[in-house]
Amino acid sequence: MITVKCFALVRELSQCASLTVPFEPGMTIASLQHQLAHRDANWQLALEGKVLSACNQTLVDSDCALCDGDEVAFFPPVTGG
Amino acid sequence: MFSSVTCDDFDQASLYSRLQAEAVAGGAGAIVTFTGLVRDFNAHGRIEGIELEHYPEMTEQALRQLMENACARFSLTTVGIVHRVGKIANHEQIVWVGSAAPHRQAAFDGACYMMDTLKQAVPLWKKEFQSGHGKWVAAKASDERAALAWVQGIEANSE
């Protein structure tokens, strides 16, 4: 399984803070994002525009390959400080 | 070296004392600290405080990485970062960074580097409240340029 976490605007638009999806061989950040965006209009809206992604708490590019058990997060550009 | 993410306000004097003790033990000759406050306005007028969300497991890792990078890059003696999350009222403290080095320029550069990269690489998100409604703050191009400047070694444009 892949654990997916959403933060800030992505969490609000998708109306989802956390969910799990089955792992599939060959899965990448981009393919997972594509799969989620096709769930419904909320997810589509949440994942369009500039969305950053992390795998196991490290920022990664969309071509990052996933492994079973990974924790993936989607969130907008950060605005701390 | 120390960092923390807290819902509560922080005491600059105790943070400074902690940094100073580590700095002195490491032979530092300069300490620079920076404190960020919540402004009471944005581009559209007066605001009624902010709320900060973060990704707890990642924030800790990102802060530690940022501090290690700063120490290595500027040969700092020690550093510290404290960032608040949750609801924060206007004029309250939001972030503190401290940087100690053998000489002042490295301490200034270290503090500046940590603030600039914190705004780009640590998973924190700010929501401002205005007329009873909350709105996520958009990332600023000027912050991105400031962080990129450290990577590329060029001077950031001011905005």
Domain count, chain B: 1
- What's the CATH code of the domain at B23? 3.90.1170.40
pLDDT at residue B156, rounded to an integer: 46
CB-CB contact of B111 with B33 (8 Å): yes
Per-residue pLDDT 10s for chain B (159 aa) are 999 999 999 999 999 999 999 999 999 999 999 999 999 999 889 999 999 999 999 999 999 999 999 999 999 999 999 999 999 999 999 999 999 999 999 999 999 999 999 998 899 999 999 998 999 999 888 887 877 777 766 544 444
The model's pTM: 0.91
On whether residue A22 sits in a domain, the answer given is yes
Let me know: does B103 contact B37? Beta carbons within 8 Å.
no
Domain that includes residue B137, residue range: 2-152
What domain count does chain A have?
A: 1
Q: Mean pLDDT throughout A52-80?
A: 95
Alpha-carbon span A1 to A61, nearest angstrom: 20
d(CA B104, CA A7): 38
Asked if the Cβ–Cβ distance from B58 to A54 is below 8 Å, we say yes
pLDDT at B64: 94
Q: How far is CA B132 from CA A79, B48, B50, in A?
A: 21, 8, 11
Distance separating alpha carbons of residues B109 and B106, to the nearest angstrom: 5
> Would you say residue A66 lies in a domain?
yes
Q: Do A73 and B127 touch (CB under 8 A)?
A: no
Residue linked to tokens 């191009």: B141
Q: Which domain holds residue A51?
A: 2-75
In this prediction, residue A37 carries a pLDDT of: 97
Q: What is the largest CA-CA distance in chain B?
A: 51
Instruction: Mark residue B128 as left, alpha or beta (left: phi above 0; alpha: psi -120 to 50; beta: remaining).
Output: beta
Q: Which residues in chain B are closer than 8 Å to A80, comparing Cβ atoms? A: 52, 54, 83, 95, 118-119, 122-126
For the cut 60, the answer to whether the pLDDT of residue A20 exceeds it is: yes
Per-residue pLDDT, averaged over A48-72, amounts to 95
CATH number at residue A16: 3.10.20.30
A2-6 and A71-75 as β-strands: parallel, antiparallel, unpaired? parallel
How much is the pLDDT for B143? Answer: 82
Identify whether B87 is part of a domain: yes
Closest partner residue to A81 among B54, B62, B119, by Cβ?
Answer: B119
The H-or-E segment that residue A53 falls in is strand A52-55
Asked, for residue B157, whether it belongs to a domain, the answer is no
- Residue A49: closest CA among B138, B117, B52, B56: B138
Arithmetic mean of pLDDT, A20-43: 97
Instruction: Please report where in the chains the tokens 């640590």 appear, as a residue.
Output: B122
Give chain B positions within 8 Å (CB) of A18.
none
pLDDT of residue B144: 77
Across the range A27-56, mean pLDDT stands at 96
